[in-house]
Amino acid sequence: MKTLKFKNGDEMPAIGLGTWKSAKGEVAKAVKTAIQNGYRHIDCAATYGNEAEVGEALAEVLKEGIVKREELWITSKLWNNSHKKEDVLPALKQTLKDLQLDYLDLYLIHWPVAFKPGVAFPENDDDYLSLEEVPIIETWEAMIDAKKEGLTKHIGVSNFSQTKLEDLIKKTDDIPEMNQVELHPYLQQNELIEFCSKNNIHLTAYSPLGSGDRSDEMKAKDEPSLLENKVITTIAKKHGASPAQVIINWDTLRGTAVIPKSTNETRIIENLESTGVKLDEDDLQKIAELDDNFRYVTGKFFVTKGNSYKDIYDEE
Ligand code: A2P
C-alpha cells in the first residue's frame, strides 16, 4: 500500500476511508468492513456526529486482534466552535473518548473559521468569533500543545488556501504537516499542490468522488456528476475498472492521500483495489483537461460579516 511519509518517519496509508455523511447505524459496520479488508487509515471529525460509533468499531477490531493500534492511522478534526486556546484540548479529549483511543495519528483544524463556543452550526453573524477575537495562531499553538502532550502524533489543517497557510507559516516554526482540501478532477488544486510540496506539507483529497450523497441544501441544482463524466467513464471502461477506481488511482499517482467515503461493502473493497489500475499518459492528459476550478463544497456558508472573510478560499 502506497504511503505518505512524515518527517519523523511515520507513514500514512494513501487511501483512507472517509466517514463524512456516513450514517449512524451504518458507519461502525463500514469501518469494520474496511479494516477487515485491508484499510489502515480512517478519516473522522467531531462534526460528523458519528465518532462514538466509529470508536465502537475500532474497539472491536483492536480487541479481536484484527489489527494493532500502531498499524492504524486515525485522523480527526477540531470543530469550529472550539478554536479558543482553552477549548482545543477538551475538544480533542472528547474525540479520543468517543473514538476509544489514547492518541490520534493526525489532528486537523477543520476550517479557518471560528464559531462561538457551543454553536454547532452558525445561524447568523453573531454566532461567529472574528479573527481578531481568535486568531488562527492561537488555535494552532494549542494544537502544538496537544502534540507535545502526546494526544496526537501529527497536526495539520483543513480547507486552508495558500494565503492562509502562508500567514500561519510566518508565525510558527512548527508548521502544519497536512492540509486536507476538496480535490478531484474538476478541482485539481495544482498550485496548492506545488506550494505544499515546496513547504513539506502533505495534502489529503476530500470529496474525491464528488460527494453525491450531500444533502439537497448543500448541492447546487446543476452540479456536474464526477462519476458519470464521459472522460472518466471511458477511461474506466478501457481499464476494466470503475470510475471511482480511476479517480482514486489518479489521486495516489499525484502523491496525495485520498479518503473516499462509502458505507457499502462492495464499494469499500472496490475503492481500495483501485491501486491495481494502471493509468497511462493519455489517460492522465485527458483527466488534466477536466480541471475547472469547480467546488462541490463552496464554503459560502462560512462567509459572513462576523468572520471578515470575503471568500473562505481567498479566490475572489
Ligand atoms: P456509498 O456510501 O453508498 O458507497 P465522496 O467520497 O466524494 O464524499 O463520495 C461519496 C459518495 O460516493 C457516496 O454517495 C458513496 O456512496 C459514493 N461511492 C463511494 N464509492 C463508490 C464507488 N466505488 N462507486 C460509486 N459510488 C461510490
pLDDT of residue 220: 85
Cβ 185 under 6 angstroms from ligand 1: no
The atom of ligand 1 lying closest to the CA of 263 is: 2
Burial 58-81 (b: 16+ CB within 10 A, else e): beebbeeeebeeeebbbbbbbbbb
Are the CB atoms for 185 and 234 separated by under 8 Å?
no
Rounded to whole angstroms, how far apart are CA atoms 247 and 207?
Answer: 11
**Is 244 a pocket residue for ligand 1 (Cβ < 6 Å)?**
yes
Q: What is the average per-residue pLDDT within 280-294?
A: 97
Question: What separation in Å is there between the alpha carbon of 172 and the centre of ligand 1?
Answer: 37
- Partners of 103 in beta bridges: none
Distance 290 CA to ligand 1 centre (A): 20
Please, are residues 49 and 104 in contact by the beta-carbon 8 Å criterion?
A: no
CATH code given to domain 9-221+258-264+292-307: 3.20.20.100
Phi, psi of 79 (to 5 degrees): -75, 160
Residue nearest (by alpha carbon) to ligand 1 atom 1: 262
pLDDT at 216: 85
Tell me whether residue 186 is one of the annotated catalytic residues. Answer: no
Nearest in space to 296 (alpha carbons), one of 190, 208, 196: 208
Reported pTM: 0.97
115: DSSP letter? E
Return the C-alpha cell found at 298: 463552496
CA of 209 to the centre of ligand 1 (A): 6
Whether pLDDT at 306 is above 70? no
- The H or E element containing residue 74 is strand 73-78
Alpha-carbon distance of 135 to 112, in angstroms, equals: 9
CA angle 302, 306, 308 (to 5 degrees): 80
Whether the per-residue pLDDT at 305 is higher than 70: the answer is no
Average pLDDT, the chain: 95
Cell representation of residue 134: 481568535
Cβ–ligand 1 distance for 209 under 6 Å, the answer yes
The structural domains of the chain, with segments of one domain joined by +, span 9-221+258-264+292-307
For residue 138, give the C-alpha cell: 492561537
For residue range 77-131, what is the model confidence (pLDDT) as tens digits? 999 999 999 999 999 999 999 999 999 999 999 999 999 999 999 888 889 998 8
The reply to whether ligand 1 has any atom less than 6 angstroms from the CB of 265 is: no
Q: Are 79 and 92 spatial neighbours (Cβ–Cβ below 8 Å)?
A: no
Q: Which atom of ligand 1 is nearest to the CA of 226?
A: 7
- Residue bearing cell 470510475: 243
Q: What percent of the chain has pLDDT over 90?
A: 88
As a whole number of angstroms, the distance between CA 87 and CA 138 comes to 11
Give residue for cell 497511462: 280
Which is the catalytic residue, given 39, 48, 296, 309?
Answer: 48
Residue carrying the nine cell digits 494549542: 142
Q: Is the ipTM of this complex over 0.90?
A: yes
Q: Report d(CA 129, CA 208) in Å as an integer.
A: 30
**29 falls in which pLDDT band (50, 70, 90)?**
very high
Ligand 1 center from residue 258 Cα (angstroms):
13
Cβ–ligand 1 contact at 262 (below 6 Å): yes
From CA 77, how far away is CA 86, in angstroms rounded? 16
Cα 262 to middle of ligand 1, angstroms: 5
* Ligand 1 contact via 263 beta carbon (within 6 Å): yes
Which helix (H) or strand (E) segment holds residue 206: the answer is strand 202-206
47-85 pLDDT, tens digit each: 999 999 999 999 999 999 999 999 999 999 999 999 999
213 lines ligand 1 (CB under 6 A): yes
Least confident of 122-136, 159-173, 177-191, 300-314: 300-314
Percent of the chain with pLDDT over 70: 98
Residue 289 has pLDDT above 80, yes or no: yes
